[in-house]
């Protein structure tokens, strides 16, 4: 079977982005979390609730591009009939899967995309509503 070779430049870029996002997360947790706690303590309950609702919405927004990408990638797999689809950069050498197995993977990716969309919608709209109901 054919193999898609890893792209070393792409691997390096993904690693740098991963390290950068991890460092940013550590900085936000170490210095940002105490500052947010102090800020919430100084706010009125209504302002604090609005801030928490906003944080919930912003926290769930990155799920939507992930759901879209999973769906689009699955469509590419279905249209090409192989996984990974042509011209896909990969982090490590991957054997190309074709036929029913590729179609099955694409359908699984579509299901994952739909589930991500449902989680994103619930987190963006329903959780802030529940938080408001809990405080009332």
pLDDT of residue 46: 85
Give the residue carrying structure tokens 């449902």. Answer: 118
pLDDT of residue 22: 97
How confident is the model over 39-89, as pLDDT tens digits? 999 998 888 888 988 988 999 999 999 999 999 999 999 999 999 999 999
The answer to whether 124 and 45 are in contact (CB under 8 A) is no
110 upstream amide cis, omega within 30 of 0: no
pLDDT band at 136 (very low <50, low <70, confident <90, very high): confident
Answer yes or no: is pLDDT of 134 > 90. no
Task: Please list the alpha-helical segments (H only) found in the chain.
Answer: 8-27, 33-42, 45-60, 63-80, 100-121, 127-135
Give the residue carrying structure tokens 């359908």. Answer: 107
pLDDT band at 131 (very low <50, low <70, confident <90, very high): confident
Phi, psi of 43, deg, nearest 5: -80, 160
Q: What percent of the chain has pLDDT over 90?
A: 78
Answer yes or no: is pLDDT of 101 > 90. yes
In terms of C-beta density within 10 A (0-12 exposed, 13-18 middle, 19 or more buried), how is residue 124 classed? middle
Average per-residue pLDDT for the chain: 92
First-last CA distance in the chain: 61
- Other C-beta atoms lying within 10 Å of the C-beta of residue 84: 19
Answer yes or no: is pLDDT of 120 > 80. yes
Largest CA distance in the chain: 64
pLDDT of residue 133: 85
């Amino acid at each position: 079977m054919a193999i898609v070779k890893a792209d070393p430049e792409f691997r390096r870029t993904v690693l740098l982005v991963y390290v950068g996002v991890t460092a940013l997360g550590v900085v936000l947790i170490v210095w940002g979390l105490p500052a947010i706690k102090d800020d919430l303590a100084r706010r009125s309950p209504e302002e604090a609730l609005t801030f928490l609702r906003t944080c919930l919405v912003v926290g769930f927004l990155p799920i939507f591009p992930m759901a879209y990408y999973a769906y689009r990638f699955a469509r590419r797999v279905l249209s090409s009939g192989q996984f990974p689809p042509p011209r896909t950069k990969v982090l490590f050498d991957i054997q190309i899967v074709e036929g029913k197995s590729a179609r099955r993977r694409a359908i699984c990716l579509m299901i994952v995309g739909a589930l991500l969309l449902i989680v994103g919608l619930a987190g963006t709209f329903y959780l802030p509503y529940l938080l408001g109901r809990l405080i009332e």
